[in-house]
Chains A and B, each alone.
Chain A
Amino acid sequence: MFRILKKSLKTGVVTGQHPKADAPREPASPEAVQKTKPFTRSLAIREVDTGSCNACEMEMNALANPVYDVERFGVHIAASPRHADALVVTGPVTVNMTRALKDVYEQTPDPKIVIALGDCAINCGMFKGSYAVTGPVERHVPVDVRIPGCPPRPAEILKALAELREGKKP
Chain B
Amino acid sequence: MADAQTAISQLNEAFGNAIVGVSDLHGTPVLRLGVKDLPVVAHYIHTHPGLRGALSLLWAVDHRPREARYELCYLFTLSECRDWLLLCTDLQGDDRLFHSITPHIHAAKWYEREIRDMFGLIPQGHPDLRRLVRHEHWPKGTHPLKKDFRWDTVLEQAQGEYAFRRIEGEGVFEVPVGPIHAGIIESGHFRFSVAGEPIMQLEVHHFWKHRGVEKLFEQLRLTDAVPLAERVSGDTTIGHSLAYCQAVETLLGIHVPPRAHYLRSLFLELERLHNHLGDVGAICNDTAYVLAHAHCGRMKERILQLNDQLAGSRFLRGVICVGGVSLNLTDHQVAQVTAELNAIETDFSELERILFANASLTDRLETTGVLNERAAWDHAAIGVVGRASGMDRDIRRDRPFAAYEELQPKIALYRYGDVRARMRVRMDEIHESARLIRDIRARMPQGPALAEPSGAPKPGEWALSAVEGWRGEILYMVMAGEQGQIHRCKVRDPSFVNWPAIQWAVLGNIIPDFPLINKSFNLSYAGNDL
Check A49 against B209 for contact (C-beta < 8 Å): yes
Kindly specify which of B87-95, B227-235, B393-401 makes contact with the partner chain.
B227-235
Say which residue of A48, A65, A81 sits within 8 Å of B301 (CB atoms).
A65
- B339-376: which residues lie under 8 A (CB-CB) from chain A? 350-351, 353-354, 357
Closest A residue by C-beta to B304: A62
Check B234 against A56 for contact (C-beta < 8 Å): yes
Contacts of A141 in B (CB 8 A): none
Q: Is the interface of B mostly helix, strand, loop or mixed?
A: loop
Residue-wise interface mask of A (74-98) relative to B, using a CB-CB cutoff of 8 A (1 in contact, 0 not): 0001011100000000011011110
Check B237 against A127 for contact (C-beta < 8 Å): no
Contacts of B298 in A (CB 8 A): 11, 14, 65-67
Say which residue of A14, A132, A150 sits within 8 Å of B212 (CB atoms).
A132
Given A66-B297, A94-B210, A94-B211, verify A131-B153 contact (CB < 8 Å).
Answer: yes
Closest A residue by C-beta to B357: A3
Given A53-B234, A66-B297, verify A131-B149 contact (CB < 8 Å).
Answer: yes
- A32-50: which residues lie under 8 A (CB-CB) from chain B? 47-50
Min CB distance B29 to A, Å, is 35
Tell me whether B155 is interfacial, beta carbon within 8 Å.
Answer: yes
Check B212 against A54 for contact (C-beta < 8 Å): no
Contacts of B138 in A (CB 8 A): 95
Closest A residue by C-beta to B275: A58
CA of A50 to CA of B354, assembled, Å: 38
Check A132 against B211 for contact (C-beta < 8 Å): yes
Closest A residue by C-beta to B150: A131
Tell me whether A136 is interfacial, beta carbon within 8 Å.
Answer: no
Residue-wise interface mask of B (167-189) relative to A, using a CB-CB cutoff of 8 A (1 in contact, 0 not): 00000000000011011111100
CA of A96 to CA of B301, assembled, Å: 33
Check A53 against B301 for contact (C-beta < 8 Å): no
Min CB distance B427 to A, Å, is 16
CA of A11 to CA of B297, assembled, Å: 13
Of residues B154, B231, B350, B351, which shows the largest number of chain A Cβ atoms within 10 Å of its Cβ?
B231
Closest B residue by C-beta to A14: B298
CA of A49 to CA of B233, assembled, Å: 13
Check B211 against A54 for contact (C-beta < 8 Å): no
Check A49 against B187 for contact (C-beta < 8 Å): yes
CA of A133 to CA of B154, assembled, Å: 9
Contacts of B314 in A (CB 8 A): 59, 151, 153
Tell me whether B116 is interfacial, beta carbon within 8 Å.
Answer: no
Min CB distance A146 to B, Å, is 19
Closest B residue by C-beta to A62: B301
CA of A127 to CA of B232, assembled, Å: 11
CA of A4 to CA of B150, assembled, Å: 59
Min CB distance B340 to A, Å, is 14
CA of A61 to CA of B519, assembled, Å: 14
CA of A79 to CA of B184, assembled, Å: 9
Tell me whether A19 is interfacial, beta carbon within 8 Å.
Answer: yes
Tell me whether B387 is interfacial, beta carbon within 8 Å.
Answer: no
Given A126-B216, A130-B151, verify A79-B291 contact (CB < 8 Å).
Answer: no
Check A4 against B354 for contact (C-beta < 8 Å): yes
Contacts of B357 in A (CB 8 A): 3
The interface size of chain B toward A, counting residues with CB under 8 Å, comes to 57
CA of A52 to CA of B231, assembled, Å: 9
Tell me whether B147 is interfacial, beta carbon within 8 Å.
Answer: no
Contacts of A14 in B (CB 8 A): 298
Given A11-B298, A94-B209, A97-B208, verify A3-B304 contact (CB < 8 Å).
Answer: no
Min CB distance A169 to B, Å, is 21
Min CB distance A159 to B, Å, is 15
Of residues B155, B185, B209, B216, which shows the largest number of chain A Cβ atoms within 10 Å of its Cβ?
B209
Given A61-B184, A131-B154, A131-B215, verify A53-B231 contact (CB < 8 Å).
Answer: yes
Contacts of B237 in A (CB 8 A): 55
Tell me whether B526 is interfacial, beta carbon within 8 Å.
Answer: yes
Contacts of B155 in A (CB 8 A): 95, 131-132
Of residues A62, A80, A91, A132, which shows the largest number of chain B Cβ atoms within 10 Å of its Cβ?
A132
CA of A50 to CA of B353, assembled, Å: 40
Check A60 against B301 for contact (C-beta < 8 Å): no
Tell me whether B524 is interfacial, beta carbon within 8 Å.
Answer: yes
Min CB distance A89 to B, Å, is 11
Check A52 against B151 for contact (C-beta < 8 Å): no
Min CB distance B134 to A, Å, is 9
Contacts of B305 in A (CB 8 A): 18-19
Check B351 against A77 for contact (C-beta < 8 Å): no
CA of A81 to CA of B179, assembled, Å: 13
Min CB distance B91 to A, Å, is 23
Tell me whether B405 is interfacial, beta carbon within 8 Å.
Answer: no
Say which residue of B150, B183, B211, B351 sits within 8 Å of A7 (CB atoms).
B351
Check A54 against B235 for contact (C-beta < 8 Å): yes
Contacts of B69 in A (CB 8 A): none
Contacts of A131 in B (CB 8 A): 144, 149-155, 212, 215
Say which residue of A94, A95, A96, A126 sits within 8 Å of B228 (CB atoms).
A126
Tell me whether A162 is interfacial, beta carbon within 8 Å.
Answer: no
Contacts of A52 in B (CB 8 A): 186, 209, 234, 526
Contacts of A8 in B (CB 8 A): 291
Check A130 against B183 for contact (C-beta < 8 Å): no
Tell me whether B377 is interfacial, beta carbon within 8 Å.
Answer: no
| Chain A interfacial positions (CB closer than 8 Å to B) | 3-4, 7-8, 11, 14, 18-19, 47-62, 64-67, 77, 79-81, 91-92, 94-97, 99-100, 104, 125-127, 129-133, 150-151, 153
Q: Can you spell out 18 A-B residue pairs with CB atoms less than 8 angstroms apart?
A: A3-B353, A3-B357, A4-B291, A49-B209, A51-B187, A51-B526, A54-B234, A55-B237, A58-B278, A58-B315, A65-B297, A67-B301, A95-B137, A96-B209, A100-B180, A100-B208, A130-B151, A131-B153
Nearest 6 Cβ contacts at the A-B interface:
A55-B234, A65-B297, A132-B212, A53-B234, A79-B182, A130-B212
